[in-house]
Amino acid sequence: MQDDPAFIATENAPLIRPHDDPECAYPPMPEAMATFTAPALHALSLDDTGGGRAVLQAVIERLGSTPGVVDLTHCDPAGRRFVDEVLGEGEVIVRIAAPRDRLAIRESVFAGVWRVQHEIDGQLRRDDLETGPVPAAVYEWAERLTADGPPQRPLAFPEGLMNAPALLTELFDHSANCPADRPHVINLSLLPLTPEDSNFLIDTLGLAGLSILSRGYGDCRVSLTRLPHVWWVQYFNSPGHLILNTLEITRLPAVVKAAQEDLEDSRERIGEALAQLG
């Protein structure tokens, strides 16, 4: 599988055919997943934490109330190291690329706690911790990146297409009328698609510059197309083979978001981590 999170795969995983029943073919199953590991802080002293302890206390408060932002730009180096050690790196990575802007967003090992770094012209302008199901910048940039120059409905189609014209009609119609609470999902894995279909869909929809990688049992790769509210959502097994290929019309696919119970669990776990310091 490609390392680029915005890569759109078109080849499904080869089926497994058991020796005792070769007619019963099935996709390969997941083999492993990332799991939570609590930070080991028993070797640290209070002097090692700098201002980091106050930062994490602020994160705990925000996890227990309205989602919010904790600015790290004024945190001392010891505090930053402490925060990095406690929070670690979680399963979800978001990359946003615009002509002058680059945003790198990564969920910590505590679901719903996000590190958001925003560069403009190569200079770091914001370095925040944000709590909530997903950082507000993801919604903001999804709107901004698709506001100018969305693709037009094709008026002519090349030879070799089977289902692409009908799929594009469905996508354009739902993109123009996208309710916030009812995502529309097209499962491409269940449809007969020719190589020409796949290539024409990819070329017509394009990519807007916002990609998301969610790790677990394999990878889930989410890429915003240039057509507003339309996302490629592709699931890969642990060997890196495509096992589910979908297009979702929604403000943001649900697979990216942390659930409310995850936020509550993260609040408790960060408190337990700080309690190790006494």
Q: Using pLDDT thresholds of 50, 70 and 90, give the confidence band for residue 54.
A: very high
Per-residue pLDDT, 277: 74
Long-range contacts of range 163-170, CB-CB < 8 Å, 24 or more positions apart?
Answer: 163/191, 163/192, 163/193, 163/197, 164/193, 164/196, 164/197, 164/200, 164/201, 164/204, 167/191, 167/197, 167/201, 167/247, 168/201, 168/204
Which pLDDT band, with edges at 50, 70 and 90, does 267 fall under? very high
- Tokens standing for residue 51: 């201002």
- Claim to verify: residue 155 and residue 233 sit in the same structural domain: yes
| Owner of token pair 């309690």 | 275
Q: Please name the amino acid found at residue 182.
A: R
- Nearest CA among 237, 225, 160 for reference residue 199: 160
Residue 228, pLDDT > 90, answer: yes
pLDDT band at 150 (very low <50, low <70, confident <90, very high): confident
Q: Which residue has the tokens 């943001």?
A: 252
The per-residue pLDDT for 50 is: 79
Mean of the per-residue pLDDT values for the chain?
Answer: 87
Q: Residue 22: its pLDDT value, please? A: 60
Please give the tally of structural domains in the chain: 2
**Could you give the count of Cα atoms lying within 13 Å of 159 in the half-sphere of its Cβ?**
0
Kindly state whether residues 148 and 121 are assigned to the same domain: no
Tell me: do 50 and 142 sit in the same domain: no
Q: How far apart are CA 218 and CA 237, in angstroms?
A: 4
Q: What is the pLDDT of residue 1?
A: 38
Task: Specify whether 53 is located in the same domain as 122.
Answer: yes
Nearest Cα residue to 106 out of 123, 73, 78, 83:
83
Mean pLDDT, residues 3-14 taken together: 62
Is the pLDDT at 3 greater than 90? The verdict is: no
| Banded model confidence at residue 45, pLDDT cuts 50, 70, 90 | low
Confidence of residue 8 (pLDDT cuts 50, 70, 90): confident
Q: What is the pLDDT of residue 274?
A: 86
Residue 23 lies in a domain: no
Q: Are residues 201 and 232 in the same domain?
A: yes
Note whether residue 22 is domain-resident: no
108 shares a domain with 52: yes
Question: Which range of residues forms the domain containing residue 181?
Answer: 136-256
* Burial group, residue 98, by CB count within 10 angstroms (0-12, 13-18, 19+): middle
